[in-house]
Amino acid sequence: MDINEIARLAGVSRATVSRYLNNGYVSQEKRRLISRVIQETGYVPSQSAQQLRTGKTNLVGVIIPKVNSQAVARMLAGITERFAGTSYHTLISNTNNDPAEEIRCLRALSERPRVDGLIMLASVFTEEHLAALRALNSPVVILGQHLEGFSCVYHDDYRATFETAKVALRSAQHPGFIGVREDDVAAGAMRLRGFVDACRSAGIEPSPEAMATGDFSVESGYLCCEQIMDARPETDAIVCATDSMAYGALTCLREYGHRVPEEVQVTGIGDSELSRIVMPTLTTAHLFFKTSGKEAAKMLIEAMDDGDEIPRQLKMGYEIYGRNSTR
């Protein structure tokens, strides 16, 4: 079964069937005839033939930093949900937080284009990253970071952390902070700045000894909390850049006999599912990860379908959920 046979059975020309398959103009009557024949015969257009005609693969690349992350999982859910029902299919590449692997993925796509567009869940941008991104000959959307000159969907990490820290600072005088590497601008630099500015707005100068750097994991949250409490036993609030590290901090404080929130308050960022069931439940900022994934996919579809190369930036909102880990 081929396009010629479909045309014969439908009583239309081969060119009309071709226009139908490529979403071109076809009258309603002929569209109905072609659709009926395709349904009756189970005809599936050749993907390779369509690619030769249109230059499109209907494949979209998604580069992610890791798979074992609630935030990444929620963004991916939004991306795949938005692409469902379209002609596009997603190919996911996990780089395991390796910047060199990210660059290899980007370069492979620029040298042998196999995708019509790309969504990149980024954490760090080096000059090599920027060069590889500029070499791409298909639309790209950056998700989770703001990068000038590129279409982006990102979160208000600074304000979300500022407002979350303020909840703890209503009844704290010696706050600490567990963050991540600052070359990750969104989760690292912006959330650190939000904490520091919240402290200063409350008339408190945060102690460098009460600030530690983790790696997003629960274990690093535990170790950073241990480091802070050893250096500054008077610490009465620990603001964490992620929920995962906050879970580690809660465990550490409990094992060392500190009562939360009576003695030490704890906050996170992200509002993952466990935040509502850990004991005590976690005060955190809800970031709209799934919605941001949908918006990134929508932005990319528009760029691929319309050929619009104008960069667009979308900053997502947030909500603060005060729970039992703060007073």
**Segment 236-281, tens digit of pLDDT:** 999 999 999 999 999 999 999 999 999 999 999 999 999 999 999 9
> What is 66-94 written as a DSSP string?
-SS-HHHHHHHHHHHHHHTTSS-EEEEEE
The two tokens of residue 206 are 């945060």
Total residues belonging to the chain: 327
* The pLDDT value given to residue 42: 82
Q: Any bridge partners for residue 176, and if so which?
A: 238
**Each residue of 134-192: pLDDT tens digit?**
988 899 999 999 999 999 999 999 999 999 999 999 999 999 999 999 999 999 999 99
Q: Report the amino acid identity of residue 111.
A: E
Instruction: Return the exposure string of 219-244: e unless at least 16 CB atoms fall within 10 Å of the residue's CB, then b.
Output: ebbbbbbbbbbeebeebbbbbbbbbb
DSSP letter assigned to residue 189: I
- pLDDT, tens only, 11-23: 999 889 878 877 6
Maximum pairwise Cα distance, the chain: 84
pTM here is 0.83
Average pLDDT over residues 112-123: 85
Question: How would you classify the pairing of strands 211-213 and 283-287?
Answer: unpaired
Report d(CA 159, CA 228) in Å as an integer.
24
Query: Residue 237 phi/psi, 5° resolution?
Result: -160, 140
Q: At what angle do helices 14-21 and 3-10 cross, to 10 degrees?
A: 110
Give residue-wise pLDDT tens across range 195-234.
Answer: 999 999 999 999 999 999 999 999 999 999 999 999 999 9
58: left (phi over 0), alpha (psi -120 to 50) or beta: left
